[in-house]
Amino acid sequence: MRIDVITIFPEYLAPLELSLIGRARRDGLVDVQVHDLRDWTHDRHRTVDDSPLGGGAGMVMKPEPWAEAFAAVRADGQRALGEDVEPLVVFPNPAGVPFAQATAQEWSQCEWLVFACGRYEGIDERVYEHLADLGYEIALASLGDYVLNGGEVAVLAITEAVVRLVPGVVGNAESLLEESHSEGMLEYPLYTRPATWDDPAGVSREVPPILLSGDHGKIAAWRHQQALERTRQRRPDLLGPVDAPGAET
């Protein structure tokens, strides 16, 4: 998988060198290229924004640097991947479609993702129109109902969610099957050794006895029930009518 990120703060993406994502890069499982949008400006101030037409607060990112950046990144990517390969261009945007685990699963199958990190009040709308006319596949993705200063934080989150699903990135692939949202529910409670723990307040805390039983069938059933109850309490919106709070079980 190839990932290109266009931003005015390339240093913000430094965490992509760390942990599993960094190892995946070093192992050749994913190629991440970070680009400075200001490299496609042509004035001594490297200007990427201007005041909004029609008035209003804040600044809007200019279309010219973005158009040149996309053209250059597309050409570079196609030299590496082939002229017939086109990227999915993702704009982190609070006005976008909510990003979910299903989205991460879908995008993990993509050969090439390009992330465009907006700043200020946003990007000139004509950039989206221009890319659509050129045949780009475009997605606007929202992390939630709140506003960040820019798209970089969202790119870090989305990249981690997507890349960890690429085969070979996570050592034990089975661990991906029982995570929160992997089956439409939140994950069950987790425990490790010691089976009895005396916490700093002096309270002795035991793990649920079923986990020490060795009966994997009963453990699986207990975990499923715990996941269901946790989802009912915290995220009932994830459940269908049969499993929703108040439904008979």
Give 168-200 pLDDT, tens digit per residue. 998 665 555 555 556 778 989 999 999 999 999
Same-domain pairing of 94 and 146: yes
The domain boundary, picked from 125, 147, 173, lies at 173
Same-domain pairing of 156 and 214: no
Across the chain, what does the average pLDDT equal? Answer: 92
**pLDDT-derived band at 67, boundaries 50, 70, 90:** very high
pLDDT at 184: 79
Has residue 59 been placed in a domain? yes
Q: Using alpha carbons only, give the angle 154, 66, 18 rounded to the nearest 5 degrees.
A: 35
Q: Say if residues 159 and 25 touch (Cβ distance below 8 Å).
A: no
Q: Answer yes or no: is pLDDT of 74 > 80.
A: yes
pLDDT at 249: 44
Q: Say if residues 88 and 114 touch (Cβ distance below 8 Å).
A: yes
Domain count for the chain, please give it.
Answer: 2
3-state class (DSSP) for residue 68:
helix
Q: Answer yes or no: is pLDDT of 246 > 80.
A: no
Within 10 angstroms of residue 92's Cβ, the number of other Cβ atoms is 25
Same-domain pairing of 141 and 229: no
pLDDT at 185: 87
Whole-prediction pTM value?
A: 0.84
Within 10 angstroms of residue 121's Cβ, the number of other Cβ atoms is 14
pLDDT at 176: 57
Domain that holds residue 64: 2-173
* DSSP class of 150: B
Has residue 22 been placed in a domain? yes
Q: Say if residues 60 and 49 touch (Cβ distance below 8 Å).
A: yes
pLDDT at 177: 53
Q: Answer yes or no: is pLDDT of 100 > 80.
A: yes
153-171 pLDDT, tens digit per residue, is 999 999 999 999 999 998 6
The mean pLDDT of 95-112, rounded to a whole number, is 96
pLDDT at 170: 86
The mean pLDDT of 68-90, rounded to a whole number, is 98
Has residue 248 been placed in a domain? no
Q: What CATH number does residue 140 fall under?
A: 3.40.1280.10
